[in-house]
Amino acid sequence: MMKNGKWTAAWAAVLIAAPAGRQSGMDPLIVRAIRFYSPGSATTTIEGVCEVRLPVLMRSAGDNGRYHVFISVLDSAGLELQQSDWNRDVPTALMHSSGATMVESFSFRAGPGRYRVHIRVAPPVGDTVSRDVAINAFAAAPAISDLLLSTSVRQPASDSEALAPGEVRRAGLVLRTAPVPGLSPNEATISWYGELYPHGAAASGDLVAEVMGTAGRRIIATPARPVTVPSTGGLTRGSLDLSGLPPGEYTLRLRVRLGDSTVVAEAPFSMGSVTTEAANAMAEGNASAGGEAVATDLFEGASEAKLDSLELPLVYVVRNAQQLRLYSTLTLEGKRRFLRQFWSPSGSATRIEGALQRDQFYRAVEYANIAYREAGAGRTAGWNTDRGRIFLRYGAPDETLKKPQAAPKGYEVWKYTRGQPHWYVFRDETSMGHYSLLATNDHRETGQRQSGWEQDIGGEAAQEIYQFLGLDFRNLGSGINP
Classify residue 373 by its DSSP letter. Answer: -
Burial, 43: exposed, middle or buried (Cβ in 10 Å; 0-12, 13-18, 19+)?
A: buried
8 Å CB contact between 338 and 327? yes
CA 344 – CA 356 distance, rounded (Å): 12
Q: What is the pLDDT of residues 405-456, one digit of tens each?
A: 545 568 889 999 877 788 999 988 776 778 889 889 888 886 555 566 777 7
CA 33 – CA 8 distance, rounded (Å): 14
Nearest to 196 by CA among 137, 262, 241: 262
Q: List per-residue pLDDT tens for the chain, 482 residues long.
A: 333 322 333 222 223 333 333 334 568 899 999 999 999 899 999 999 999 888 888 887 776 678 999 999 999 999 999 999 988 888 766 666 667 788 888 899 999 999 999 999 998 888 899 999 999 999 999 999 999 999 888 888 788 888 766 788 999 899 989 999 988 776 788 999 999 998 778 889 999 999 999 888 999 999 999 999 998 889 999 999 887 788 889 999 999 999 889 999 999 999 876 555 555 555 555 544 444 333 446 788 888 998 999 999 998 888 777 778 888 899 999 998 888 888 876 554 544 433 347 777 888 888 888 788 876 545 788 899 999 999 888 888 888 888 765 455 688 899 998 777 889 999 887 767 788 898 898 888 865 555 667 777 777 788 888 888 888 665 555 443 43
Instruction: Return the pLDDT at 148.
Output: 97
Instruction: Work out the mean pLDDT of the chain and round it to a whole number.
Output: 80
Instruction: Return the pLDDT at 164.
Output: 67
Reduce the DSSP state of residue 41 to 3 states and report it: coil
Q: What is the pLDDT of residues 223-263, one digit of tens each?
A: 999 999 998 889 999 999 887 788 889 999 999 999 889 99
8 Å CB contact between 293 and 91? yes
Instruction: Return the pLDDT at 13.
Output: 28
Instruction: Return the pLDDT at 20.
Output: 32
Instruction: Return the pLDDT at 378.
Output: 53
Instruction: Return the pLDDT at 133.
Output: 95
How crowded is residue 16: how many other Cβ atoms within 10 Å of its Cβ? 22
